[in-house]
Amino acid sequence: MIITVTLNPSLDRTLEVGRLERGVVLRTTTPTLEAGGKGVNVTRALAANGIPSIAVFPVGGREGSELHGLLADAGIDTRAMAVAGRTRSNITIAERDGTVTKLNEPGSALLDHEIRALSDLVADTVSAGDWIVMSGSVPPGFTGGRMRTFVSSLAAHDVSLAIDTSGDALAAAIDARPRLIKPNRAELAEIAGSPLECISEVIDAAQSVRDRGVEYVAVSLGADGAVLVGPAGVVVGASRVERPRSTVGAGDSFLAGFLAKFSMDETDVDAAMLEALAWGAAAASLPGTSVPCSADIDFTHVQLVWQPDLDRPLVAS
């Protein structure tokens, strides 16, 4: 089973416009309303492809009730915990050329007893051998120390731990030695303390993270594909999106695709990487934070690169 934990979920509203212009009145499409937050998106993607997953998250206020209702209507298995604060509401504006602008609220702080209760809820949900995916931003006031303690409490349950967050939260989570982290290029560069301009620099930075006790580092690179660094070496993958609509949530589908394969067979990392690339590319071709189902996933547009040009400049992101 794959359990996702989202500390700062969101109610996501996506609007499409021809071109975003400041200071004018714009006509949009009918909004798309979806349950959001990176961990929630991972569970949604897994469920859309028939893979069991449970999403654990706090909810508060009318937005939280609506988020929980959207997941229930979609038949998503959840363990939602009521909290005093209000669940945040985010807005995504997608332009016709694929440019995406996001307006994300910070969310509400979690109280100390709520953090402990959420940890207990995860403990009651998982079984030995499960994967726990802790993914997404953290709420205000959730310090590196709190993150380190929370992640360590999750790792104590004889599970495999995957982390997909950023900034101080990611740095603190690495101290708990998760099995897998999935940063993007900017997040890995922040850990490394320097820009990552080519594949070789991405590989070196990922290996430095592995030296700190993380088994696998899967780096999503957008138009430049992805890199996986693990015990057996390096895997480089490429993907193509013919008609990009929204990259929001594509990294979540990438992680979901990887774990869909890897959680069943850890001996074939190549297959897991191809699955991840295909799911991520499919998500980028869908509107808003929509997740791909099997009909959307096309493996003809992804491949592993056996002799990559390690010094080729990466596309700016």
Residue type at 254?
F
* Residue 316 lies inside a defined structural domain of this protein: no
Domain around 179: 2-304
Whole-number pLDDT of residue 315: 84
112 belongs to the catalytic site: no
* Catalytic residue (choose from 12, 164, 224, 252): 252
With contact defined as beta carbons under 8 Å apart, do 67 and 10 qualify? yes
The number of angstroms, rounded, from the C-alpha of 134 to the middle of its chain's C-alpha atoms is: 9
Helices (H), the chain: 38-48, 61-73, 112-125, 144-155, 167-174, 185-192, 199-210, 250-262, 269-284
In a domain, 16, yes or no: yes
Average pLDDT on 304-310 reads: 90
Structure tokens at 196: 């990552």
* Rounded mean pLDDT, 73-84: 95
Q: Contacts for 19-23 with beta carbons within 8 Å, 24 or more apart?
A: 19/95, 19/96, 19/97, 20/93, 20/95, 20/99, 20/101
Is residue 49 included in any domain, yes or no? yes
Q: What pLDDT score does 14 carry?
A: 87
The CATH number of residue 139's host domain is 3.40.1190.20
Token pair of 303 as six digits: 């491949």
Note whether 80 and 59 are within 8 A (CB): yes
Higher pLDDT, residue 158 or 259:
259
Could you tell me the pLDDT band of residue 65, with boundaries at 50, 70 and 90?
very high
Residue 317 above 70 pLDDT? Answer: no
CA-CA distance, 123 to 137, in Å (whole number)? 21
Q: How many structural domains is the chain composed of? A: 1
316 pLDDT tier (thresholds 50, 70, 90): low
Whole-structure pTM over 0.75, yes or no?
A: yes
**Distance separating alpha carbons of residues 55 and 79, to the nearest angstrom:** 6
**Residue 313 belongs to some domain of the structure:** no
